[in-house]
Amino acid sequence: MKESINTAFLIKVMMFFLATIIALIIGTLNYTKTYRIKNHLVEIIEKHKGYTTAAKNEINTTLREIGYKTNPLNSSRCPSVTGGYLVSVNPDFRYCIYRHNDVKGYFYTVVVYMYFEVPVIADFFEFPVSGQTIVIYDL
């Protein structure tokens, strides 16, 4: 009887560690994809020398092609950022773009969101991933 209790406990411990490792792998893959998307958005804004209509269209096309999850929480709110003002809120995709004025020009902060879906515990967990462009000089 004692051996069966120890075996059941050992199986539970192994299942817990296996579930933890799987969750870490899935989280890492989601974070990597979100980080790559953030880098694409920063590159597009830098290429167009700012957040223009052409940049907005290219960003939306890129997000559709990559397969970025389309706003599962239907949230279009963006948190306020010190020193910058909101330039873009997209209802289709969950990203926020802020413009910051600098002494020699301006730069942008891009915030995209990683979603982690856990059906049993909660619908979605949302984690922001942000990055900044280089300074775009006013000439």
φ and ψ at residue 99, rounded to 5 degrees: -105, 135
- For residues 58-82, average pLDDT: 78
Q: Write out pLDDT tens, residues 97-111.
A: 999 998 889 999 999
- Per-residue confidence at 17, pLDDT binned at 50, 70, 90? very high
pLDDT confidence of residue 77: 76
Burial track 36-73 (b if 16+ CB lie within 10 A, e otherwise): ebbebbbebbeebebbeeebbebbeebbeeeebbebee
In this prediction, residues 54-65 reach a mean pLDDT of 89
Taking residues 75-82, what's their average pLDDT? 77
13: its two tokens: 């411990």
Domain-by-domain residue ranges, the chain? 2-137
More confident residue, 84 or 139: 84
> How far is 78 from 98, CA to CA, in rounded Å?
10
Asked if residues 61 and 37 have their Cβ atoms less than 8 Å apart, the reply is: no
In the prediction, which pLDDT does 14 show?
94
Q: What is the arithmetic mean of pLDDT over 55-69?
A: 85
